[in-house]
Structure 1
Amino acid sequence: MRMSRRCIGLDVHRDFAQVAIWRNGVVTQEGRFATTPEEVRRFADGLAATDEVALEATGNTWAIASLLTSRAGRVVVSNPAKTRAIAEAKIKTDKVDAAILAELLAADYLPAVWMPDAQTAALRRQVQRRGHIVRQRTRLKNQVQAILHRNLVVRCPAADLFGIKGRAWLAGQDLPPDEAAAATALLRQLDFHADELALIDRELALVALGRDDVRRLMTIPGVDATVALSIVAAVGDFTRFRTPEKLVSYLGLNPRVRQSGNQPATHGRITKSGPGYARGMLVEAAFSASKAPGPLRGFYERIRARRGIQVAIVATARKLAVLCWHLTIKGEDYAFAMPSLVAHKQRKLQLRAGLPSARGRKGASAAYSLKEVRAAERQLAERSEQAYRTMITNWRPKPATPKTPTARSGRGRQHRDTALTPSG
């Protein structure tokens, strides 16, 4: 006898999950089970290959979904920000939320979240842990600076307050005993986090050395191993985005658009949806890329002249996201990369991973220390930047035809977006 289709909605909490089952258009409540490994496996044992399960993304969702995937025919993790039927419900209980999830799943109207594989999920956790350590170090440094500020201490003459010279200067300042003790305690915590950061950087460097996509993204100016790993961890499988614009939207770098009826569309600030740590890394990389010679700097300066620095930086970050998609999908390196700089990045990555140094022996990155080599590569990059400026200056959109009034602007945007890709 053929089994009927069941759509199961789970309203997951820290300690339990509420269960609602849709079958033949009728939703029934089936109680709850504890969110422990044993109870989740027991619940999974009662599932059939024809069952479909839906649950919202939360802290313990991925562990539950991985246990259910082996038994259920389909497991859908819903994006809570897009499940508006639950968020806007006037009567909101665990039973109602589970029932709505089951009904939306049955209607195939549930906005799903891509489930990363185990390797990508582990990389995401490592990248996020590194980001947490960096934020903690920044907080500690700001507290030390606040101590000096409220005690009217002049700025440190050393370049780095937390380096050897800076700490020696700090130790000689006349601070109240309690403030001096607080500064010493903050420096101890800072040293602890520095050791932790070195450990996680070494782990991530070992991961980066084994991934071709990370090394390929490092050929882009401004993108080092940390930025490349953050992008790869956030995106996972680049092929799930059919166009680079889809990736830009996923990273939250596209502007908000409002349009209704015959009114023209209005554009606002970027949406800032998706993984914020990857978006922040792209913005930092855009700052670095805007200072290096090449088409990216030409693009940045063109936007800055019209819209200002902040808009130009965000636009450059969006351009970097487009470049990352093209390079990864096509399996190519950045066409305007500086070979000695790329080799220098890779050698730094190897040393960070703990590979033995080769002092006294010339390696692939030795050319980076030769001024004539760097000057020649910089000259080539400046030529490519000038070629980009000339192309943009001479570019003229084709006149629109009566049948396709918007074709001109569409072709123009596509031309500009692909100007910095390997094929451009």
Structure 2
Amino acid sequence: MDLHRTFGEVVIWEDGILRHAGRVDMTRTALEGLGKSLRSTDEVVIEATGNSMAVSRVLTPFVTRVIIANPLQVKAIAQAHVKTDKIDAGTLASLHAAGYLPQIWTPDAVTERKRRLAARRYQVVRHRTRIKNEVHSILHAHLIPKCPHADLFSARGRAWLARQPLPDDERAAVNRHVRELDRLAEDLTVLDREIAQAAIDDPAVKRLITITGVNLAVATGMVAAIGEIGRFKSPQKLVSYFGLNPRVRQSGLGAAHHGRISKIGRSHARAMLVEAAWAAAKAPGPLHAFFVRIRARRGHQIAAVAVARKLAVLCWHLLTKDEDYLWARPALVASKTRGMELQAGHPQQKGSRRGPAYAYNVKALRNQEMLVATQAERSYERFTAQWEPRRPKDVARGRLKPAGRK
């Protein structure tokens, strides 16, 4: 089936012969009618689109399985010179019959819901950031100096903002933006509660928040994007799934040229990993030392992406081996866990009873944990201090002359 917003083109492959079966409306009733006309031994192939998951759920009870093809890898459709809906559907059927159809993993209902929550939260956060930038641009356009407070949109920041001289229309725009920020804050609170309730009993989320810089939103987004960790045979597969692997160009005996990251894959998860990378780069530990080492050679932007790639590799190892992060800070992890419980709606504990998260509020204990993390950072620095740039294999074997040598 070649899916569109309002209809789908159906082609049947049987005994090596393609037969056009007409169009079907993209409604539940029409799809159920199509499913009843099929045999239980049939297989349905569709391309990954915005409504492909809904089509798969409707047709699955009627057939052996529904296969969702990866549109980025179906080159025969993307590069065809003669392209119609009937030809596209026939190409999908022929590729599947020949065993060359690249298919995607279909998540279960629980994972799909987590993905929707993570995507919606990401959209709300992006919208909120865009509105804040518009307010800052208004102040910049009228030569208003930088806000002396840490947060322009806190109570003190808003009081300072109200005293600034602005034209009436700009003042109305600022007030409108502030009201929109308050509404988005309410939406974000509801989404965070739903995300916390879905993750409160998830062992994978609790394992990922042991990594420094990874909070509940990032851990939940990673678990939702990954689904079953067993489908990734190596950490490099997971890195490629997030689009954090560099592009490579190599032909013949020439050297391989590495470019920017591919950015092919889960964009929401990739953005959250980069966000967590900036947080991890500011905290003491091996990840901070790794960030500093890359930043000295390539700059802070590339270093942040390199840390995000390192976090993806860490996620694969932790989930595959069922282990917590080696350099986890227990008091910080307990504070994250307690924050997740409160966010999910659990009651507060008052009185003399203190939980493990209380240790994070004791400065001496918190500094002791940071000292251990700093020692791990120094160990990483000593470990990498003796590293030297690797020479190309052809140079090492004497096939090519090193640069600058005659």
Q: TM-score range by the shorter chain?
A: over 0.9
Q: Which moved more, 1:211-220 or 1:78-87?
A: 78-87
* Partner secondary structure for residue 127 of structure 1: helix
Secondary structure at the aligned position of 1:17 is classed as strand
One-letter amino acid of the structure 1 residue matched with residue 370 of structure 2: R
Partners in 2 of 1:149 and 1:79 — Cα distance? 45
Per-residue deviation, 1:309: 1.8
Report the AA paired with residue 281 of structure 2: S
Which residue matches 1:97? Answer: 88
Q: Does 1:378 align with 2:351?
A: no
**Partner amino acid, structure 1, of 2:361:** S
What is the CA–CA distance in structure 2 between the aligned matches of 1:180 and 1:296, rounded to whole Å? 44
- 2:360 aligns with one of 348, 357, 368: 368
SS of 1:290's equivalent in the other structure is helix
2:169 aligns with 178
1:166 matched to 2:149:
no
User: For residue 337 of structure 1, what is the aligned residue in structure 2?
Assistant: 328
Q: CA deviation at 1:308?
A: 2.3
Deviations 1:7-63 (A, max 9, x none): xxx011111100011111111111011110111111111222321211111111000
TM-score where L is the length of structure 2:
0.92
Equivalent residue, structure 2, for 1:389 = 381
Q: Any stretches of 5+ residues in structure 1 without a counterpart?
A: 1-9, 406-424
Distance 1:173 1:312 in 2: 38
Please show how residues 265-276 of structure 1 align to structure 2 within 5 Å: 265-276=256-267
**Matched residue SS, 1:257:** strand
Q: Quote the Cα distance in structure 1 between the aligned partners of 2:385 and 2:144.
A: 52
- Residue number in structure 1 paired with 2:306: 315
Q: Which amino acid aligns with 1:363?
A: G
Of 51, 59, 68, the match for 2:42 = 51
Assess, with a 3 A threshold, how the Cα gap between structure 1 residues 287 and 107 changes in structure 2: closer, same or farther: same
Corresponding residue of 2:400: none
State the alpha-carbon separation in 2 of the partners of residues 154 and 193 from structure 1. 26
- Partners of 1:77 and 1:117 lie apart in 2 by 14
Match of 1:64 among 55, 72, 83: 55
Query: Which sits farther off after the overlay, 369-378 or 325-334?
Result: 369-378
Say if 1:169 and 1:397 are closer, same or farther in 2 by CA, change over 3 A.
Answer: closer
Query: Higher mean Cα deviation, 381-390 or 89-98?
Result: 381-390
Distance 2:164 2:385 in 1: 57
Match of 1:249 among 240, 245, 250: 240
Taking a change above 3 Å as real, the CA distance of residues 384 and 103 of structure 1, as seen in their structure-2 partners, is: same
Aligned mates of 1:18, 1:227 — CA distance in 2? 39
Q: What is the SS of the residue equivalent to 2:385? A: helix
Separation (CA, whole Å) in 2 of partners of 1:397 and 1:151: 51
Give CA deviations for 1:154-180 in whole Å, capped at 9, x if unaligned: 222222211111212222222222222
Larger CA deviation: 153-162 vs 78-87: 153-162
- Structure 1 residue 84 corresponds to structure 2 residue 75: yes
Is 1:33 the counterpart of 2:58? The answer is no
Q: CA deviation at 1:260?
A: 1.7
CA RMSD, aligned part only?
A: 2.1
Deviates more, 1:385-394 or 1:80-89: 385-394
Aligned pairs for 1:405-420 (under 5 A) are: none
2:62 counterpart letter in structure 1: R
| More deviation, 287-296/352-361 | 352-361
Aligned to 1:156: 147
* SS class of match (1:54): strand
Structure 2 distance, partners of 1:241, 1:298, is: 28
2:200 aligned residue: 209
Deviations 1:217-263 (A, max 9, x none): 00000001011011111111111001111101111111111122222
Q: Distance in 2 between matches of 1:242 and 1:70?
A: 30
Q: 2 CA distance for matches of 1:397 and 1:170?
A: 52
- Please give the secondary structure, in 1, of the residue aligned with 2:22: strand
- State the aligned residue count: 395
- Rounded to whole Å, the distance in 2 between the matches of 1:289 and 1:401 is 34
Which deviations, in whole Å up to 9, do the C-alpha atoms of 1:326-360 show, x marking residues without a partner?
A: 11111111111011111111111122222222244
Q: Could you tell me how far 1:400 is from its partner in structure 2? A: 12
Deviations 1:114-150 (A, max 9, x none): 1111111010001111111111111221222222222
Deviations 1:376-402 (A, max 9, x none): 212211222222223333568999999
% same residue: 51
Q: Alignment partner of 1:335: what SS?
A: coil
Q: Secondary structure at the match of 1:30?
A: strand
Give the direction of change, closer, same or farther, for the CA distance of 1:52–1:156 in structure 2 (3 Å limit). Answer: same
1:410 counterpart residue number: none
Unpaired runs of 5+ residues, structure 2, are 398-406
What secondary structure is seen at the aligned counterpart in 1 of 2:143?
coil
